[in-house]
Structure 1
Amino acid sequence: MRLVKHPVLCNYYVTYRCNAKCAFCDIWEKPSPYITLADVTQNLRDLKRLGVSVVDFTGGEPLLHRQLPEFLALARQMGFITTVTTNGLLYPKNAGKLRGLVDMLHFSLDSADRATHDLGRGVACYDFVLESIRVAKELGERPDILFTVFRNNLADLEAVYRDITQPNGLVLIINPAFEYGDIATGEQLTAAELDYLSAFGKRRGVYLNEAFIQLRRDGGNHVADPVCRAASTTLVISPSNELVLPCYHLGEQKFAIQGQLYDLYNAPETQRLAALEGRLPQCEGCTINCYMQPSFAVETSKYFWQALPSTLKYNWEKGTWKRLLQLA
């Protein structure tokens, strides 16, 4: 049964440019403009009309956009929950400008070993993540550590938890890697490794959406009976001010917004394409976390019930439930 019939999340790409070259991502390879304040202002108004409650300003590396603090301040003023994920390279020098503007601030860290983390990210950013943690804590911020799990770094999870997140009072977010297009992330996690992650996710100070694990056990999304609700739960806006459908990773079609996001999203052609969410041939076996998470949240299913405990746990540990109450 569908509980929420409007989109809840916007993945707003401020730029595709990045100052890292992660092996498991191809976004940084794309030429890209930067979004403009005028477009952001109009689009946020329309996102509010559409029922969106969370705006993820993403990239690329979002901190490359010098107006990011302005976007975040505007979104907060309009009542959105804001989220930003960064590799940490630019955070220390921009932390003051971002203070108090990001509800969910994530620093990417994939190993407690400097060489291992920097190799995966294609740039020396490990020390910047540790410095970002120090600076954020001094400013009274409560960042999370986003750990993207592959088979080759699974053994590093314990050390990150023991040596970095727990001593600093941070939440460790476990993000199982996924493949898309021509981007391969290595061998898939085995059943035993998924069981290990599931058990690890029950620890204090750890967030793992258990439905991510179950979805992988089930072989991902199946086009005959899709769990994916990417287009009806999530709006993707490109740096060129386009609405991308049905999701960023497929990008089947892009529509120029031109100040008409509300009408564009509700247009027959847009809704026709949105109705194909999870049903396209490329959707078979998909496990893309950033679209599955909102998909699990909007309708009752076994994934909804498996995702619920971890979602409640995260909101309690982070204190974001207080922010949600303020917006209610």
Structure 2
Amino acid sequence: MNKFERAKLLSQSVFRAVLSRAFGIHRPVTASWNITARCNLRCKHCGVYLNQPAELSTKDALKLAEFLKAKGIPWVFISGGEPLLREDLGIIIEKLTSLGIGVGLSTNGLLIPSRLDMLKGVDKLIMSFDGPPEVHNHIRADGAYEKLMKSIELLKGTDMTLHLTAVILKTNLEHFDFILDKAEELGAILSVQPGRINRIDSAEANTLAVTKEENQKIVDYLIKRKRGGYKNLFNSIEGLKHMREWPNPRPLPCVAGRMHFYISPGGYMRGCLNYPQVSPEQSKQNVCKDFEEEFSKIRPYTCRDCWCGESIEYNLAYGLSFRSVVNLIKENLI
């Protein structure tokens, strides 16, 4: 996606945000499609692999792509699980891009060397980054850091924008100077967010979760680096101030169901990932048969418990936070 296309997407976002805020007419700009829950890692703070819902077939996934185009969705973000485990991922991405839909993708990076051709057409690539080798490998798997760096090296010279996401965990509290410096060295945009109390997509406790005081210490460091001129951090000062209050509930303007919605591996839709409309038991057995009906079920959400680094920024921008709006303009146009 070139700067002209980014500017077009940004203008669409502004127009639809005005419709949403002023008139209550909600026309989403982005969809996050969790295309699979399968994963080739067993990260210590994640439980997404514990629940294995049914997945759309290739045929139905392509139909969903056409449905999203018909609904005027200009941007789709594909995640998982590990999306590269789907053998048809390249076909799905090709379909989306042929329809003029921008594509972002989240991956742990391990499979990129063998499946780089699948990523043709991807504009934004997000990969998790936990710290130096001993920390990253401890959280994910032996050799995961080295494989991540190899994948990043392979991406040089492509048109993809590289984003790294760092989660604040007990194991990397002393390594955020390394994380920020490495992201800058790699030319990557870095987003930081607190770890969850529970493992991702699980009721099990996250044994790597930090205390409120530990989180505040890291956020204060990030604010200091940001104010000191560090340019690779996606989080705005206002977003970091919100994050500093974790885990205490705090109100925030919300794009869920208004500007953004989620799609499960089986094609079920909801405004926010934290509020599934289909039970795990049902999702294991069935996939969505009627996308139009599912789309009609999307409802706006407003909560006090949003801690995803990027979501915080989009929510603040939706609430007309000057710094967050400027942050998004810089990311898309500069």
Q: TM-score range by the shorter chain?
A: 0.7 to 0.9
TM-score where L is the length of structure 2: 0.77
Aligned twin of 1:69? 90
Contact map agreement 1:10 1:234 (CA 8 A) in 2: yes
Asked whether 1:228 is paired with 2:246, we answer no
**Alpha-carbon shift at residue 123 of structure 1 (Å):** 4.9
Structure 2 residue 295 is matched with structure 1 residue 265: yes
- Answering whether residue 182 of structure 2 is matched by residue 157 of structure 1, we say no
What letter corresponds to residue 206 of structure 1 in structure 2? L
Which amino acid letter does the alignment assign opposite residue 240 of structure 2?
A: I
Q: Distance in 1 between matches of 2:160 and 2:306?
A: 34
Pairwise CA distance, 1:53: 2.2
Contact 1:23 1:122 in 2 (8 A): no
1:249 matched residue in structure 2: 274
Match among 167, 174, 192 for residue 192 of structure 2: 174
**Cα distance in 2 between the residues matched to 1:49 and 1:199:** 45
Counterparts of 1:97 and 1:9 in 2: how far apart (Å)?
21
Task: Give the counterpart of 1:203 among 222, 230, 236.
Answer: 230
Q: Counterpart of 2:242?
A: 215
Give the aligned partner of residue 321 of structure 1: none
Unaligned runs of at least 5 residues, structure 1: 318-328
Structure 1 counterpart SS, 2:38: coil
Corresponding residue number in structure 1 for 2:29: 8
Is the partner of 1:167 in helix, strand or coil?
helix
TM-score by length of 1: 0.78
Cα distance in structure 1, aligned partners of 2:271 and 2:129: 29
Deviation of the 1:117 alpha carbon: 0.5
Residues 140 and 7 of structure 1, relative CA distance in 2, 3 Å threshold: closer
Which residue number in structure 1 is paired with residue 331 of structure 2?
Answer: 314
Distance 2:291 2:315 in 1: 21
Kindly indicate whether the alpha-carbon contact (under 8 Å) linking 1:20 and 1:123 is maintained by their aligned counterparts in 2. no
Is the Cα–Cα contact under 8 Å of residues 78 and 105 in structure 2 kept in the other structure? yes
Partners of 2:40 and 2:164 lie apart in 1 by 19
Q: How far 1:229 moved relative to its partner? A: 3.5
Given the superposition, is the C-alpha separation of residues 199 and 79 from structure 1 closer, same or farther in structure 2, using an over 3 Å criterion?
farther
Greater CA drift, 198-207 or 83-92: 198-207
Indicate whether 1:296 and 2:334 are aligned: no
Q: Which amino acid aligns with 1:260?
A: D
State the alpha-carbon separation in 2 of the partners of residues 286 and 208 from structure 1: 14
Deviations for 1:273-307, whole angstroms, at most 9, x for unmatched residues?
x24x12xxxx443424464444334x334xx3232
SS at match of 1:145: strand
Q: Give the structure 2 partner of residue 145 of structure 1.
A: 164
Give ranges in structure 2 of 5+ residues lacking alignment: 1-15, 21-25
Q: Which residue of 2 aligns with 1:187?
A: 211
Where does residue 5 of structure 2 map in the other structure?
A: none
User: Could you tell me which of 47, 54, 59 is aligned with 2:75?
Assistant: 54
SS in 1 for 2:130: coil
Query: Residues 183 and 58 of structure 1: is their aligned pair in 2 closer, same or farther, counting only changes over 3 Å?
Result: farther
- Which string of whole-angstrom CA distances, capped at 9 and with x for unpartnered residues, describes residues 84-139 of structure 1? 1111110111113323x11101222110x212111112453111101001111155
Alignment of 1:26-105 (within 5 A): 26-99=47-120, 101-105=121-125
For 1:213, give the aligned amino acid.
Answer: L
Number of matched pairs: 299
Structure 1 residues 158, 82: closer, same or farther in 2, change over 3 A?
Answer: same
Structure 1 Cα separation of the partners of residues 179 and 88 of structure 2? 32
* Equivalent AA in structure 2 for residue 78 of structure 1: L
**Partners of 2:156 and 2:134 in 1: CA distance:** 25
Q: Aligned pair in 2 of structure 1 residues 17, 55: CA closer, same or farther (>3 Å)?
A: same
Cα distance change, pair 150–253 in 1 and its aligned pair in 2 (3 A)? same
Q: 1:91 to 1:309 in 2, by over 3 A?
A: same
Instruction: Specify the SS of the correspondent of 2:60.
Output: helix
Counterparts of 2:190 and 2:77 in 1: how far apart (Å)? 19
The letter of the residue matching 1:144 is H
Residue 153 of structure 2 aligns with which residue? Answer: 134
Identity within the alignment, %: 20
CA distance in 1, matches of 2:277, 2:161: 37
